[in-house]
Amino acid sequence: MRLAIVSTGHTKFGKLKQGIEELMLDVCNQALSKANTDIDAVDAIYISNFSSSFTGQCHLPAVLASKLGVDKEITRVESACASGGIALKEAAISILSGFYNTVLVIGVEKMCDTPIDQVTQILASAASQEEIKHGATFPSLYALMAQRHFYDFGTTEEHLAKIAVKNHKNALNNPLAQFHKEITVDDVLKSRVVASPLKLLDCSPVSDGAAAVLMTTEENALKYTDSPVYYIGIGHDTGTIDLKSRETISTMPAVKKASAKAFAMCGLTPPDIDVAEVHDCFTISELLQIEDIGFCDKGMGKQMIEACRTDIDGDIPINPSGGLKAKGHPIGATGVSQVVEIATQLRGEAGKRQVRDAEYGLCCNIGGTGATAVVSIFSR
């Protein structure tokens, strides 16, 4: 049985007025109305949400049921910033099991109402508390990974800056992106140092937002759309939370394993992929994933960037949406938002940011410093 994505929903990302329940309802209604159906057609809902500490609200399944005014089988899943990918996987499994036919996946986070020092603290709850206790934060952990990559492979700050520049450029054509501001390599290099070598413009922002995906069986799909996107590869891996336990920190072992599983499931290889959304919470993260997914050999990411191969008109466009860097990163929504972009690209509906002839797409959604990785592969 093939799984089909038949519809999507997506709010603007950024600082939004709506509360978390309105954001969920908004993307739910978008996905249903685009599929010309209503909530009765949905057997179950999976909600991806990172931390209740942003809103003081746990038990989102019941909040959503109230907002919808129906009762349903609703479940929340969490795996730090990889929550969205996990929700998608759980939804897929629930259909494969025969338990459900049609499932809605909603990713949501509401972060901008929380003071920034508190946001940092909440984000740090996704890291090893031992490392946090010794003064680490996510920017500093990723900075260590970047420094090691520089040392191992000769990558430079300019390479990372070019990733930010590309993603900001792509976001100009995404009306739902948080930032619509072109930047230069010089802007990145001159922006405030957050944790050397990472500067402010190497980091994804704090965001509110939600995204949704309506998934069903292949045989049901044509009820909802003429252009379903098929979900053909699922890879998931959870490794050690702390950097200190890893053999090397210039690679993300969970990304390698999750990618291998996803490719094995659908019989494809990295060169088959026409477009990818990867988890660029920091620019170094995009670089590591380009290598660990297998778009190039380890250490060769810098050459891909130099050759503009990951640009929107390159041979493997990465983050045409603008990525986490410029589209925004409302944690629980991110993994679902990646799938919305890939579905939009494979359907040829991405407008000015459309990648040419995209047949196969990939999403890489990670949690923490890559302790959790979910890689999903789609075909049109």
| Structural tokens at position 38 | 């209503």
Q: Is 78 in the site for its own copies (CB under 8 A)?
A: yes
Q: Quick one: which segment of 184-192, 210-218, 250-258, 346-354 binds its own copies (CB under 8 A)?
A: 250-258
The reply to whether 367 sits near its own copies by the rule CB under 8 A is yes
Which of 63, 347, 353, 17 lies closest to 180, judged by CA?
353
Q: How many residues bind its own copies (CB under 8 A)?
A: 54
71 binds its own copies (CB under 8 A): yes
120 binds its own copies (CB under 8 A): no
Q: Please answer whether residues 54 and 122 qualify as being in contact, where contact means their C-beta atoms are separated by less than 8 angstroms.
A: yes
Active site residue 364: no
| 213 in contact with its own copies (CB under 8 A) | no
140 exposed, middle or buried (CB, 10 Å; 0-12, 13-18, 19+)?
A: middle
* Three-class secondary structure of residue 318 per DSSP: strand
State yes or no: residue 76 binds its own copies (CB under 8 A).
yes
| 248: contact with its own copies by CB under 8 A | no
Which residue lies nearer to its own copies by CB, 317 or 367? 367
Collect contacts of 57-64 with beta carbons under 8 A, ≥24 apart: 57/20, 60/20, 60/24, 60/108, 63/20, 63/21, 63/24, 64/21, 64/24, 64/25, 64/28, 64/106
* Residue whose token pair is 């394993």: 257
Q: Is there binding between residue 84 and its own copies (CB under 8 A)? A: no
Is 50 near its own copies (CB under 8 A)?
yes
**Stretch of 22-30, 120-128, 221-229, 275-283 contacting its own copies, by CB under 8 A:** 120-128
Active site residue 329: yes
Q: Which residues pair with 106 in a beta bridge?
A: 47, 212
Of 10, 28, 81, 112, the active-site residue reads 81
Can you tell me the distance from the alpha carbon of 259 to that of 269, in angstroms, rounded to the nearest whole number? Answer: 9
3-class DSSP assignment, residue 308: coil
Residue 302 contacts residue 153 (beta carbons within 8 Å):
yes
Check binding of 264 to its own copies (CB under 8 A).
no
Q: Does 156 bind its own copies (CB under 8 A)?
A: no
State the minimum distance, in angstroms, from the CB of residue 27 to its own copies: 18
Does the footprint of its own copies cover residue 253 (CB under 8 A)? yes
Give the residue with the Cβ less far from its own copies, 52 or 191.
Answer: 52
d(CA 19, CA 113): 10
Asked if 42 touches its own copies (CB under 8 A), the answer is no
Decide: 37 and 224 in contact? Cβ < 8 Å: yes
In the list 8, 11, 30, 94, the residue contacting its own copies (rule: CB under 8 A) is 94
Give yes or no for residue 309 binding its own copies (CB under 8 A): no
What does the CA dihedral 19, 21, 26, 27 come to, rounded to 10 degrees? 110
User: Which of 242, 300, 314, 348 is close enough to bind its own copies by CB under 8 A?
Assistant: 242
Query: Which position among 149, 296, 329, 364 bears the catalytic label?
Result: 329
Bridging pattern class, strands 102-110 and 275-278: unpaired
Name the residues annotated as catalytic: 81, 329
Residues that bind its own copies (CB under 8 A): 50-53, 56-59, 61-66, 69, 71-80, 86, 89-90, 93-94, 96-99, 125-129, 236-242, 245, 253-254, 257, 367-368, 371-372
